[in-house]
Chains A and B, each alone.
Chain A
Amino acid sequence: MSHLLEVHGLSIRFGGVQAVTKIDFHADPGEIVGVIGPNGAGKTTLFNIVTGFYSPDEGTMIFDGHNISGLKPNALTRLGMARTFQSVRLFNAMTVLENAMVGQHTRTKAGVWGALVRSKRTKAEEDHIRDRAREALAFFGDRLSGREDALASDLAYADRRRLEIARAMATDAKLLLLDEPAAGMNPAEKDGLINQIGRLRSELGYSIILIEHDMPVIKSVSDRVVALDHGEKITEGTYEEVSTNKQVIEAYLGKAAEESHL
């Protein structure tokens, strides 16, 4: 079976710290993969490498049949990868709709000539961009669509997270990489998020990889879970398998367990 994303032997070192060591990892079309691990395990670093922000010291990466080593983030976006960030990184001085419209940048072509001349084709393209952006916003119901002219910085926190996902959706991606999408949400919002992630896969066919600390969320959405610790993959499997794995428990609870023996 061919994986959508396949990563072998990925390693990277920052100064004296080996952040990620020989990680093998894959995601299949239509799959939702959860990535867990204590803080500092290398989860975000892994994302950064896969999405082209860092260049690994060793290892190979293949996405949708293409070798993506050495490609920059915008090339990866064009190939069909989109991500969100741990600390929500929106274009704060732009409106909700504009943020989503930027997502379509990689799928469109109008340049200076189009801007100056405003031909039929450019106008049609602008309309298409707007429509796609609105579609993405509408996925979250009225929360974003109803405020499309509001500034991104004026949104409530949970809505800012949703907008980030919508923007990623607007890139017509195949694979979404979500970095702690549930962070800072209250239980009701988390339930909504679980629902939305599920719908992203079932209704829109996205494959998703998500980093999360919130176990119930991971449990509810993931087909498969990968656990990292100290830059290495310690195990992978279903949530049940991983959550009962001794190493995983030690990684998360080990120190507390030791202290309780004092």
Chain B
Amino acid sequence: MTGAQKRSIRQGLISGAIVIYLGLVGMLVAFDARAIVTGILNFATVLIAITYGGFAYLSGNRGKHGAPAQPALIAGTITGAVAGATVGVFTLVVNFLTETLGWNVRNMFTSINNALLEFFTFGQSPVVGALLMVMFGLVAGLVSGSLHLMSTTNRKVVVMGLTASVFGALGAPLFKVMLDGLNIPNRWLFERDGLTLIGAITLFVVFAAARMGSLRVGGPRQALLKVPGTTEKNLRWVITALALFGIAILPWIVNDFVSDVLGFVGLYILLGLGLNIVVGFAGLLDLGYVAFYAVGAYSVALLTARSSILVGGAVTSPAVAAYTNFWVAIPITIVIAVLIGVAIGAPVLRLRGDYLAIVTLGFGEIIRTLVLSDWLKSTFGGPQGLTEVTSAPFFGLNTRDPQILYYLIYAFAGFALFISYRLKTSRVGRAWAAMREDEDIAEGMGVSVIKYKLLAFATGAAVGSLGGAFFAAKLSVANPGSFTLLVSINVLAVVVLGGIGSIPGVVVGSLVLVGLPELLREFGEFRLHIYGAILIAIMILKPEGLIPDKRRALELHQSDHQPEKSVLSAAATEGVQ
């Protein structure tokens, strides 16, 4: 057997294992409910096809060290078939264990239920089903392999069309609501929660053609530039203006639920921008960012509370109840957050990256434990937290209305955006950039490293506390359950996915990680699972994120120039096997 064939088989096994994994964690059964083409195709099937196909495609690539690729069709077919066979064997084994041996497999692997087995066997008997699965894999592999036979352009066009159809289908509920809101007829496009067949084909054709067109001119950016009168600069202005316009009118064309989700997205944009200053600009990995969020919420709650507060039916008087106006409370809250940020930061900011991360995590947890404790219940309200944060009257507008809250959070986010941009392109931003690259030299140039680290930390704290203030206003409670480590990790994921140090990246990251799961309910169940996978994948494949900040991208890839193993050690390890 040739090396290339072995590789194909191995990739088939991996592909099959991944599909089995998806089944075992329950994703397949959940995604089965999601229609792509209503009545015909659902997402789980598509997912499996993509998995088989993806690996099949890869096995048609050149191997390492330039080993020749075997004919793509053969490679793809082998991989696909093996993948299908792996899953088939799995179903047979499970069947054997449950039917013949009578083991209660479901007690251990809770996701193996009849639905899953039926799915894997296409509703047939185990043996027939397994064979069908092999066939399915084979076909998927064949089709993917054939992608190799197309020209690059054609390939990109086809992929674009398929991607558009799938995303159109996944986003169907949202798009449907939007189109309904604008009174655009869409029965031909969407049916229940998925696409109609015609809709799917239309999307495919339209986007494929668009891609074809843009590739002809050298890419979407070039295509736009060709429109008469556009230059790079005013292109950016136009996009920004459109975005702002879109943000402004969005609440009017979607329903309250979507407004709410977008508000949530805005919150994470705000928090992400704050963390971006700490992690992205100053290079400090802070895993305790939720602490500032909590400080903001609790400060606002305490400052604006009336003297007696109803906590779960009992009347408690918090130690501080200043009944100040929300808008007065905000600057005070920011000051408090900055002070706490400096207090936490001063002793720890000189620590090395990974230690700093753990220490900040520790602080976050300490603050949460304190706020949750019985000991400090009289101030912070214990597990139930504080309620009755005043709704903030602002020119007579009621801030419980989702639409108003929406504008509020985007105003805050806009402010954070402004701060971020201004700082980045200033002397302070330069100092941070120097500090990130080489602390010693920066110090030598007069950048007081500790001062600038504190500055970043304090600014991040201020922004985070704004988020907390918004939270308190929105829910009118400050409750410790909302301030867990998970929030810090969520914000970190948003920043990392978008691109560490990249300001537009934070927006994209938030939309993807916060917005999408809300709109795609089935994904929402597996949100953290997918976050974890995304973090790993991004760090391995593209550590600078989706919309990279140019400078950071360079810094992250600098180590590419100094190979991990020098030539000497590579030779030595290869020699001694």
Contacts and interface: CB of A to CB of B under 8 A. Distances in A.
Interface in A26-76: 51, 53, 72-74
A115 B440 contact: no
Given A78-B446, A112-B455, A112-B459, A92 B437 contact: yes
A74 B551 contact: no
Interface in A108-151: 108, 110-112, 114-116, 118, 122, 125-126, 129, 151
Given A98-B430, A111-B428, A116-B422, A106 B445 contact: yes
A222 interface: no
B558 interface: yes
Contacts of B446: 74, 77-78, 105-107, 171
Interface string B417-456: 0110011001111110110011011111111100000010
A151 B433 CA distance: 13
Contact of A105 (B445, B459, B555): B445
A94 B437 contact: yes
A92 B558 contact: yes
B554 interface: yes
A114 B427 contact: yes
Nearest to B446: A106
A51 B441 CA distance: 11
A94 B434 contact: yes
B427 A91 contact: no
B445 A167 contact: yes
Nearest to A98: B430
Interface residues on B, range: 20 to 34
Contacts of A72: 443
A89 B438 CA distance: 8
Contact of B426 (A98, A106, A114): A114
A110 to B, nearest CB: 5
A45 to B, nearest CB: 15
Contact of A115 (B427, B433, B552): B427
Contact of A110 (B426, B437, B558): B426
Contact of B434 (A77, A102, A107, A110): A102
A226 B320 CA distance: 69
Contacts of B555: 92-93
Nearest to A107: B446
A118 B447 contact: no
B447 A74 contact: yes
A125 B430 CA distance: 14
A175 interface: no
Contacts of A51: 444
B554 A153 contact: yes
B503 to A, nearest CB: 15
A94 B430 CA distance: 9
Contacts of A160: none
Contacts of B455: 111-112
Nearest to A82: B444
B429 A115 contact: yes
Contacts of A82: 444
Contact of B431 (A78, A92, A105, A171): A105
Contact of B444 (A73, A98, A101): A73
B280 to A, nearest CB: 13
Nearest to B553: A93
Contacts of B459: 112
A116 B419 contact: yes
Nearest to A126: B427
Contact of B423 (A115, A153, A167): A115
Given A91-B434, A102-B431, A171 B445 contact: yes
A112 B440 CA distance: 22
A91 B437 contact: yes
Determine which residue in B419, B434, B448, B558 has the highest number of CB atoms from chain A within 10 A of its CB, and name it. B434
A122 B428 CA distance: 12
B428 A112 contact: yes
A154 B367 CA distance: 46
Contact of B551 (A73, A93, A107): A93
Contact of A73 (B426, B428, B443): B443
B445 A92 contact: no
A6 B433 CA distance: 34
B45 to A, nearest CB: 45
Contacts of A167: 445
A214 B549 CA distance: 42
Interface of A: 51, 53, 72-74, 77-78, 82-83, 85, 89, 91-94, 98, 101-103, 105-108, 110-112, 114-116, 118, 122, 125-126, 129, 151, 153, 167, 171
30 contacts: A73-B440, A74-B445, A78-B446, A89-B438, A89-B441, A91-B438, A92-B554, A92-B555, A93-B433, A93-B551, A93-B555, A93-B558, A94-B437, A102-B447, A105-B430, A105-B445, A105-B446, A106-B446, A106-B447, A108-B427, A110-B426, A112-B423, A112-B455, A112-B459, A114-B427, A116-B419, A125-B427, A153-B554, A171-B445, A171-B446
Given A74-B445, A74-B447, 9 more contacts: A91-B433, A91-B438, A92-B555, A98-B430, A110-B427, A115-B423, A116-B418, A151-B554, A171-B445
